[in-house]
Chain A
Amino acid sequence: MDLEGRDTLVTEARDLLAGMESTLLELETLGHSDERINAIFRAAHTIKGSAGLFGLVNIERFTQRLENVLERVREGHDQVDAALMTVLLRASDYIGKLVDAIEAGLENEEPDAALRDELLAALDQRLTGAVMPAPHKPAEPARETALLHVSLRFDPTTLERGYCPTDFILHLGELGELAYVITLTSALPERARFVPSTLYFAFEVGLVSTATPADVEACFALIRELVTLRTFGASQLSDVHRALAPAHPRQAQRLKEELERLGTPLEDVPVYAPAALGHTAAPAGPFLPDADPATSIAAPRAQAARTVFPSAKQKNADERRAPEQRIVKVDATRLDQLINLVGELVIASEGARNTVSSGKRAEDVFEAMSKVSQLVELIRDRALHMRMTPIGEVFQRFPRVVRDVSRELGKQIALEISGAEAELDKSMVERLADPLTHIVRNAIDHGIEPVDERIRAGKSPEGQLRLHAYHESGCIVVQVSDDGRGLDPERLRAKAVERGLIAVDAVLSESECHDLIFAPGFSTAAQVTNLSGRGVGMDVVKRNVESLRGDVEIDSRLGEGTCFTIRLPLTLAIIDGFQVEVAGTTFVIPLDMVVECVDMRDVSGPQRILNLRDEPLPYLRLRDVFRLDASAAVRESLVVVSYAHQRVGLVVDRLLGNSQAVIKPLGEIFRRLHGVSSSTILGDGSVALILDVPSLISAATASGHKEGPARAGAMTAEARP
């Protein structure tokens, strides 16, 4: 399978699986409807179909079984009860695993054999245990395994048409066990006439299985017109051998050896299961004529061919695994808009060139240029937009998570999702999934109380869990809130002391107590459950979110519930920036975070707090923060920035104005440096650093906490000696 086909298949299958899962959950909560059953059936059927096209037998065969069960439900012979629901959900998980394996280039490996067996057994039980026999799969009496010999003559154009005979032979092997594959090479022309895309080989295959000749034919259904196929039962093998011997002495010899190895020497061929084989076995008539019997030259080549196939396949798989190619689905209208704009840009730039070359006035040139740059900006926005994905893509997995976790814990939980249409960068959506899942699981496990406890507390027995997303000043905010028992600051404190995370006499505010759950190695669950409480998790959540330049906040009231707020930038690629200069160095502040710019008048004195329209505003002097050249500029300016409802002033030497900034990462060497998040390249080719406003704000407020807790509005004040 080529790379593109693989990616498309993986993306499509994942979409279908997600759809199937949500329909299953709807089926469970909203009840049976033909439409839903059909939707599920269609999803399974499409997955099976595309897997079959690519010869992915793992998926195809499994999904076939699933489809059989669904078929029965669709025809009213069976019903989706709780047991079947569980099987179906787990089956969709299992197909997900198979899809993951395909993405990794490991489609020939079984990701979870135990689960597969278990699910297949459950599905089979569903098929056979029901009152009426399944329409497509009549119950078969147990049959003995038998040797079936299959002669395969492919059309020479098989390869040209994109089919690989080995795939089909391997597919055949799925029915049982391939005892031998003998390649007939006499059709190979001499080197000068050899055409690489022509298939010269014929195959003699031995299959030990319970399959009937009809099953064998079904394996080749896709290329029915390209293959001539004969099956022979064990009793006819002597005839096969006789027919083979004159033109293919080596292969006939090999067949004889293989049969001896299998314990069925040609002289006394026993009858394995004559009843099953007798009726369809073709007479051991003449084989399709092979070309000139140049076997003596061809034989060594055949040897080579046999060994080359698997290794070439292996290599292919390795190559595929290396570069991860991703597919982004883009709304067609968005693409059209972008292309229209590019068209306009081409015209505008042509116009600008004319204006310049015809020696027009400076104003005209400026006008033309501004038109071009306006278009560039629009195109930038649209291009970035194409990477945007609704956060619903992450949210859609939670109904399932909540269902599974709440069942496991015996809690009743209603999940409410809102703001699923809020968009953010595709890469962020993917990386947000893990931290969010953890928070949700945590909320169900620790936050929401068991039913009896809720009733005692006067709450409705059903816990409320809410996922909410919205945009706020260049960020996306994701909230996970529950109406559970809330975080108990005293308990958290005690636990932290017990774990040696804080000193016994440490003075912590309530929110600082809450933040303790982000400390590595902290866990308050009295008993370690399957879901959480292993003390790994919340610290990882925080780290993950911070690696996306975001942060996590907790708001909790004891007995009323907890709300986790994750704040993330919308994209990691391009921002609108505001340039400032400090000590001769240019810095860029993300424009979304800039509130206003103010002239600094009196900045002397120890107090680092400014009266801004009668509001106290703490400020940082970047010159000091970054330990730059100490001599201050004569006149300084103040940029007021805001992030997560906090405002801080940044004192700079000069304001340079707006610009677009293509974000360039600074790299690992500067990973642990705070205050600067990344860099960008300015119009003159020099590098400017982008300020990390959140870390600057938290630095300002944290030092405020530490040094002046007694002050009024401690958060906003910081005293410096």
Chain B
Amino acid sequence: MSALAQRSLDGAHTTGHYLTVVSGGELFAVSISRIREVIHCPRITRVPLCPEVVPGVINLRGAVVPLVDLAIRLGRRGTELTRRACIVVVEAEFDEGMRPVGVLVDAVEEAIETTDDMLEARPAFGAGLRQEFQAAMLHHEGRFVSVLELSAVLSVTELEGLVATHALAPGAARTKHV
């Protein structure tokens, strides 16, 4: 349990800063430590043969940044590109080092400062999330909000696998290398 608590947050004993976002109609919290910026959803270039969880790429001031649809990644229905839709640009761990990934969400709510007593270890079940996606629970204004473990949600290895298997799905196989 101590390992869990430790892993759940960087320095749970101090106050932390979190950003709450809406994804698939639910509220989630992410630690701001790895968030680079939040931008309005620009024009997305779809990458063919990719699953919906990786809807495409965007131009972030000259860099081509891949997008991840958070709702689909968490097993919800896809994010709708309404006017409130935002992209949270997060540093993710690639082989070559930290690179930005755009996380597509329904909306960004607020930045909150937390104290120790607001954070609780994640429950064994009940959040409707894959265990490793959940870092902790955040008690905020009478509600429990799941804190997302971004390193797991944005696991590059896993995303790469998803793209590869989708591209090789039946019907696409004939256009592939053999």
Given known contacts A670-B163, A672-B160, A687-B59, A620 and B175 CB-to-CB distance under 8 angstroms = yes
Is the C-beta of B1 less than 8 angstroms from some C-beta in chain A? no
Task: Name the residue on B nearest A584 (C-beta).
Answer: B46
* B164–A673 CB distance below 8 A: yes
A671 to B167, CA, bound (A): 11
A696 (CB) vs chain B CBs: closest residue: B175
Contacting pair A688 B177 (CB below 8 A): no
Q: Of all chain B residues, which has the CB nearest A680?
A: B64
Which residue in chain A gives the minimum CB-CB distance to B96? A668
Instruction: Please tell me which one of the listed residues A669, A673, A679, A685 contacts residue B49 in the complex, with CB atoms under 8 A apart.
Output: A673
Please report the C-alpha to C-alpha distance between residue A197 and residue B148 in the assembled complex, in whole angstroms: 53
Q: Is the CB of A698 within 8 A of B66?
A: no
Task: Using A674-B167, A703-B174 as known contacts, say yes or no to A626 and B160 having CB atoms under 8 A apart.
Answer: no
Whether the pair B167, A672 counts as a contact (CB closer than 8 A) is yes
Does any Cβ of A come within 8 Å of B22's Cβ? no
Among B25-33, B50-58, B103-111, the stretch that binds chain A is: B50-58
Is B59 within 8 A of A702, CB to CB?
Answer: no
Q: Are B171 and A627 touching (Cβ within 8 A)?
A: yes
Question: For B49, what are the chain A residues with a Cβ–Cβ distance below 8 Å?
Answer: 626-627, 673, 675-676
Contact with B along A359-397 (1 / 0, CB 8 A): 000000000000000000000000000000000000000
Task: Find chain A residues with CB under 8 A from B160 CB.
Answer: 668-672
A607-636 interface bits toward B, Cβ cutoff 8 Å, 1 = contact, 0 = none: 000000000000010001111100000000
Chain B 132-178 residues near chain A, CB threshold 8 A: 156, 159-160, 163-164, 167, 171-172, 174-178
Give the chain A neighbours of B126 by CB distance below 8 A: none
Q: Quick one: which of B51-100 are within 8 Å of A by CB?
A: 54, 56-59, 62-64, 66, 94-96, 99
Would B63 and A699 count as touching, CB distance under 8 A?
no
* Assembled-state Cα–Cα distance A642/B175 (Å): 17
Residues of B contacting A695 in the complex (Cβ-Cβ under 8 angstroms): 177
Asked if A664 and B47 make an inter-chain contact with CB atoms under 8 angstroms apart, the answer reads: no
**Docked CA distance A516–B54 (Å):** 35
- Residues of B with C-beta under 8 A to A667: 64, 66, 94, 99
How far is B96's CA from A628's CA once the two chains are assembled, in angstroms? 31
Given contacts A687-B59, A688-B45, contact A664 B164 (CB under 8 A): no
**A665 interfacial contact with B, CB 8 Å:** yes
Tell me how far the C-beta of B146 lies from the nearest C-beta in chain A, rounded to whole angstroms.
Answer: 24
* B167→A665 contact, CB < 8 A: no
Q: How far is the CB of A671 from chain B (nearest CB, A)?
A: 6
Report how many residues on chain A are interfacial, defined by Cβ distance under 8 Å. 34
> Cα distance A667–B171 when bound, in Å?
25
B30 to chain A minimum Cβ distance, whole angstroms, is 19
CB distance from B57 to the nearest CB of A (A): 5
Selected from B47, B96, B176, the residue in CB contact (under 8 A) with A670 is B47
Chain A stretch 680-697: residues in CB contact (< 8 A) with chain B? 681, 685-689, 695-696
Is A666 an interface residue, CB under 8 A from the partner? yes
Min CB distance, A148 to chain B, in Å?
51
Q: Which residues from chain A contact B177 at a C-beta distance below 8 Å? A: 674, 695, 698-699, 702
A687 touches B178 (CB 8 A): no
Report A-chain residues with C-beta under 8 Å of the C-beta of B176. 674, 699
1/0 per residue, CB under 8 A from B, across A521-538: the answer is 000000000000000000
A585 at the interface (CB under 8 A from B): yes
Number of B positions contacting A (CB below 8 A): 34
> How many angstroms between the C-alpha atoms of A620 and B172 in the bound complex?
13
B147 CB to nearest chain A CB (Å): 24
A687 touches B156 (CB 8 A): no
Q: Is residue A706 contacting chain B, with contact meaning CB distance below 8 A?
A: yes
- Closest residue on chain A to residue B99 by CB atoms: A667
Which residues of the other chain, A, contact B46 by a CB distance below 8 angstroms? 585
In the complex, A670→B160 CA distance in Å? 6
Expressed in whole angstroms, the Cα–Cα distance for A689 and B57 within the complex equals 10
Indicate if the CB atoms of B45 and A687 lie closer than 8 Å: yes
Contact of B45 with A585 in the complex, beta carbons under 8 Å: yes
| CB-based contact B48/A675 at 8 Å | yes
**Are B57 and A666 neighbours in the complex by a CB distance under 8 Å?**
yes
- With A673-B50, A675-B48, A689-B47 known as contacts, the answer to whether A666 contacts B63 (CB < 8 A) is no
| A706 and B178 contact, Cβ closer than 8 Å, known pairs A668-B156, A673-B167 | yes
Q: Are B54 and A669 within 8 A (Cβ)?
A: yes
Report the Cα distance A243→B50, complex, angstroms. Answer: 83
Looking across the interface, which residue of chain A has its beta carbon closest to that of B169? A627
Which residue in chain A gives the minimum CB-CB distance to B46? A585
Q: Is A625 within 8 A of B47, CB to CB?
A: no
CB distance from B41 to the nearest CB of A (A): 13
**Which B residues lie within 8 Å of A673 (CB)?**
47, 49-50, 163-164, 167
Interface centre among B50, B56, B177 (most CB of A within 10 A): B177
Contact A672 B163 (CB under 8 A): yes
Q: Which B residues are CB-close (under 8 A) to A681?
A: 59, 62, 64
Q: Which residues does chain B contribute within 8 Å of A685, judged by CB atoms?
A: 42-43, 59
The CA-CA distance from A626 to B50 in the complex, in Å, is 9
Contacts of B50 in A (CB 8 A): 670, 673
- Tell me, in angstroms, the Cα distance from A671 to B156 when the chains sit together: 11
Q: Which residue of B lies closest to A662 (CB)?
A: B62
Query: Of B62, B96, B163, B175, which one neighbours A669 at CB under 8 angstroms?
Result: B163
Sampled A-B contacts (29; CB under 8 Å): A585-B45, A626-B49, A627-B48, A664-B64, A666-B57, A667-B64, A667-B99, A668-B96, A669-B54, A669-B163, A670-B54, A670-B163, A671-B160, A673-B163, A673-B164, A676-B48, A676-B49, A679-B45, A679-B64, A681-B64, A685-B42, A686-B43, A698-B177, A699-B176, A699-B177, A702-B177, A702-B178, A703-B174, A703-B175
Nearest first, the 10 A-B pairs at minimum CB distance are A626-B48, A672-B164, A687-B45, A664-B64, A625-B175, A702-B178, A669-B159, A679-B64, A699-B175, A703-B174
Using CB atoms and an 8 Å cutoff, list the residues of chain B in contact with chain A: 42-43, 45-50, 54, 56-59, 62-64, 66, 94-96, 99, 156, 159-160, 163-164, 167, 171-172, 174-178
- Since A627-B49, A669-B54, A699-B174 are in contact, a sample of 20 more A-B pairs with Cβ atoms closer than 8 Å, ordered by chain A residue number, is A585-B48, A625-B48, A625-B175, A626-B48, A627-B171, A669-B156, A669-B159, A669-B163, A670-B163, A673-B50, A676-B47, A676-B49, A681-B62, A685-B59, A687-B58, A688-B45, A695-B177, A696-B175, A699-B175, A699-B177
